[in-house]
Structure 1
Amino acid sequence: MKRLTTLVVLLIFVLSACTNNPKSNTISAVELTERERAIISTTSDKSFVFDFNIDSDYKEVSVWVEKYESGKLVNDAISSLITDVEGKGSIIFTTSKPDEDGKQQTFNIGISGKSGMGSVSNFEDNLDDMASVWDNLQGKNNPIEGELVLAYFGYSSDGRMSSLSIDFFEDPEGHMNELDKYDVAYLLKAKFTKTKGP
């Protein structure tokens, strides 16, 4: 499974659309082509791809998934990956289709760039019996300062679902109460780290 995940991450990186004239120290949502979506859908249920462009001050990126229940943080790193980065690269996040028993799904994180590629996979209970909603950071050239929310999944057993506001992505800390409406929520987060001074 890990080899297959790594292969899919590599294919998306090679095929992903390039951001036109990306600004330094930004991250952009990537619109996949129909072919790219077809390739990734062979092994994944949902996928999000982001391209970043950083200057030489930044040397590392951390990407992780947090789990919330009724708005309360219950696990701050279900799946996490830290890797060295340089210049341009991509962050790929996918969820697998549920396993044969229908009890587990996999969260896959991949980071690729000039420094190479890294990936990690973790299992989580399948919540297919709940209504769900998901979305990701939109647009091009979003600044990379601080902790970023790149995507989320929200699950509710009562079937009444609404999406998080656009403000949530711009100011997550100020809008954490929006997670209260979900029985279970997952946030995909990222943080770019600068070189430490002398």
Structure 2
Amino acid sequence: MQPNWRGCKYDYCCELTEREDAILSTASDKSFVFDFNVDDEYKEAAVWIEKYEAGNLVDNRLGYITTEAERSGSIIFTLSEDVNDANNIFNIGVSTEENLTSAHVPDEKSNDIENMLSEWGSIPEKVALDNGEVVLANISYSDDENGMHSLTTDFYEDAADHMNELEQYDVVYLLKAEFSK
């Protein structure tokens, strides 16, 4: 069996209890939770954030974490924005029955994003992870006064061939993950 994901924005995820939903809403501005199931042949899970400015990669391993892969678990991604602070505060974690691996990841804000429009999205509900790394979610910022468009489904299905979509934003954070054997 290939690894597979069931991902959703936390407030649309039927798997979260009211308490879990309240905790995420209280502790962060934006949150994502992704459940995964893998076979025993997968030994390691890696999760990280990539940062892009005007479509150009500026940080390819923001908050990179790895952990031992287990049969099932969750990947959690949150963002807290403080307009009085010079940082975005990301939290990423991989939770399984046996382990919790997490990182608190500050990132200096760029391009005055606190004054920009933001858009966020995630992978379709179920995705097979058989081609290496996958984009799980994005948080994007733009000061375009004409509004914003979300990343296409095609972007999540084949990010490498759709990276030009990131050019429409001033700043983009991509949450990525990969399981290895």
Task: With the length of structure 1 as denominator, give the TM-score of the two structures.
Answer: 0.80
Letter in 2 for 1:144: L
Q: What per-residue deviation string (whole Å, max 9, x for no partner) do you get for residues 162-192 of structure 1?
A: 1110110000001000001001111000000
**Structure 2: how far apart are the matches of 1:71 and 1:175?**
11
Letter paired with 1:139: E
The residue type equivalent to 2:105 in the other structure is N
Taking CA–CA contacts closer than 8 Å with sequence separation of 6 or more, which of the two structures ends up with the larger relative contact order?
Answer: 2
Identity among equivalent pairs (%): 48
Other-structure match for 1:95: 79
User: What amino acid sits opposite 1:167 in the alignment?
Assistant: D
1:119 pairs, out of 98, 102, 110, with 102
- 1:80 and 1:96 map into 2 onto residues whose CA distance is 18
Q: Which residue of 2 aligns with 1:191?
A: 178
Of the three residues 55, 60, 64, the one matched with 1:76 is 60
* 1:163 is the counterpart of 2:141: no
Aligned length: 170
Aligned match of 1:104:
87
Could you tell me which residue of structure 1 aligns to residue 49 of structure 2? 65
Is the 1:43–1:97 Cα contact (8 Å) retained in structure 2?
no
Whether the 8 Å contact between 2:7 and 2:34 is mirrored in structure 1 is yes
Report the CA distance between 1:138 and its aligned residue.
Answer: 2.2
RMSD: 1.6
* Residues 89, 113 of structure 1: 8 Å contact kept: yes
Q: TM-score, normalised by structure 2?
A: 0.88
* 1:103 Cα offset (Å): 2.2
Partner of 1:10: none
Secondary structure of the residue aligned to 2:29 is: strand
Deviations 1:29-65 (A, max 9, x none): 1503444221211111110000100001101011000
Three-state SS of the structure 2 residue aligned to 1:180 is: helix
**1:121-160, Cα deviation, whole Å (9 max, x unpaired):** 11123422111111011213x1112110000011112233
3-state SS of paired residue (1:28): strand
Q: Which runs of 4+ in 1 moved over 6 A?
A: none
Which residue pairs with 1:25 in the alignment? Answer: 3
SS at match of 2:151: coil
1:144 aligns with 2:122: no
Which runs of no fewer than 5 residues in structure 2 stay unpaired? none
Unaligned runs of at least 5 residues, structure 1: 1-22
